[in-house]
Amino acid sequence: MRWTLLLSLLFAALASGQGIEPSESELDGLEQLYVYLHRNPELSFHEAETAGKLMSELRPLGYEITSPIGGTGFAAMLKNGDGPTVLIRTDLDALPVAEQTGREYASTVKTTDDSGAEVSVMHACGHDVHMATFIGVARALAGVKERWKGTLLLIGQPAEERGAGARAMLADGLFSRTAQPDYALALHSSPELPAGQIGYTSGFALANTDSIDITIRGVGGHGAYPQATKDPVLIAAYVITALQTIVSRETNPLDSVVVTVGSIHGGTKHNIIGDEVKLQLTVRSYQDDVRLRTLDSIRRIVTQTARAFGVPADREPLVSIVEAEHTPAAYNDPALIDRLVMVWRQAFGPANVVETPPVMAGEDFSRYGRTEADIPAVIFWLGTVEPQRVQSGEPLPSLHSPFFKPEPRAAIHTGVRAMTAAALELLGR
């Protein structure tokens, strides 16, 4: 009965250029799925139950499931004749955050993380919205196969929060085990846009992200006799200041770079000059050449500053790029963006399709487009905030905040319409 209603609404919507319009009963089901996922979050590479829940929703629709891929990931294919292959991704993982939204269905989950510490777990980045939308898209497109030709490749990706899931799925033969996409699509919750709107960025949308571990090694001793030491705390202070000259004096002002020292640890007591100081950095950029120059500059500044303070050659600093946490910049193919924006404006009206500036956050969805096949890819923003909260001007909680609480029904509604409209545009209506 609900699919009869959905199809009737669909045909009316298509006639008026609105894309697929989910019925109220379908939205009820998707909202219930969202609540279930929100109450049962799982950390990166531990999303077994989450993946199982989504696969159980997809199998009855006729999707061919391949699992596991890249740990707890999966792929679901629906073939419908000759035509392009469109990849649509959802992420599965949650964050080690203790929820403080006060909602009736707030997460109370606690678990042990990979380091052995007990942590609370919350979907503080909107991945539960993504997954509910993903299932809504899968249902809608499976129900209107007469409207498109080609192959849908839906993937549930683990460990987006660690920037490691896409790499793991690709290394595990994602495309050789399924199909080579012609296009790749994803969406991400926005903590700023009102529900009912979507945002897009042409070109670079999200940044290269790099984590860097630095150990500055000195010669320790008594705090009253600094002349007999090489103080790593002092060296670290000079290094932290000098690192900012990479942005202000080595980078073209028209390019964007962020160098943040997020952690510094050294020493044990007031009157002891320690042997070493450890720093942890995050570095953000867009262009690959700017990224590489920045990383080279960090190595040079750290090494040469230590030498300037007379650190012995056998005590030179250690600079380590944490490759496992590197995420390449997400680049939205301009031609594909132009094509989809036309569709979205027709579906939602120009006022609800908003051009947004690039951000320095990272997203490993970028890896699907940056394979050897150079797949045109787009990730767009999905508004999640109650419109009245946006209009009030009150401070809004960011992603990863314990207070982040999307308006799920309206966001899922918009997400299903936007993603199905994009898929139908690429697969041929």
> So what's the pLDDT on residue 18?
54
With beta carbons less than 8 A apart as the criterion, state whether 209 and 282 touch. yes
pLDDT at 16: 38
Q: For residue 395, give Cα distances in angstroms to 127, 245, 280, 384, 399.
A: 22, 32, 29, 15, 13
User: Which tokens belong to 14?
Assistant: 């298509």
User: Which one, of 197, 157, 125, 158, lies nearest residue 406 by Cα?
Assistant: 125
Is the distance from CB of 243 to CB of 295 less than 8 angstroms?
Answer: no
Q: Which of 57, 91, 93, 275 is catalytic?
A: 91
* Inter-CA distances, 192 with 189, 360, 381, 416, Å: 9, 15, 10, 19
Amino acid, res. 299: R
What pLDDT sits at residue 1?
44
State the pLDDT at residue 3: 47
The Cα–Cα gap between 384 and 378 comes to 19
Amino acid at position 219, single letter: V
Query: Residue 279 and residue 240: Cα distance in Å, rounded?
Result: 9
- Cα distance between residue 198 and residue 169, in whole Å: 28
Q: Name the DSSP class of 388.
A: H
| Burial degree of 134 (CB within 10 A; 0-12, 13-18, 19+) | buried
What's the rounded Cα separation, in Å, for the pair 429 and 425? 6
Q: Which of 47, 57, 160, 161 is catalytic?
A: 161
Distance CA(424)–CA(404), nearest Å, equals 32
Asked if residue 121 lies in contact with residue 109, where contact means CB atoms within 8 angstroms, the answer is yes
Chunked into runs of 10 residues, the chain (429 residues) has average pLDDT values of 46 50 96 98 98 98 98 98 97 98 98 97 98 98 96 98 96 97 98 97 97 98 97 98 98 97 97 97 97 98 98 96 94 98 97 97 96 91 96 93 97 98 91
Rounded to a whole number of angstroms, the CA Rg of the chain reads 24
Residue 91 a catalytic site member: yes
List alpha helices for 158-287, DSSP H: 165-171, 174-177, 232-245
**161 assigned to active site:** yes
The runs of H, that is alpha helices, within 207-287 are 232-245
Q: What domains are there in the chain, each with its CATH number?
A: 2-207+329-427 (3.40.630.10), 209-325 (3.30.70.360)
Enter the tokens of residue 348. 């939602």
Chain length of the chain: 429
Question: Which amino acid, residue 304?
Answer: Q
Quote the pLDDT of residue 429. 59
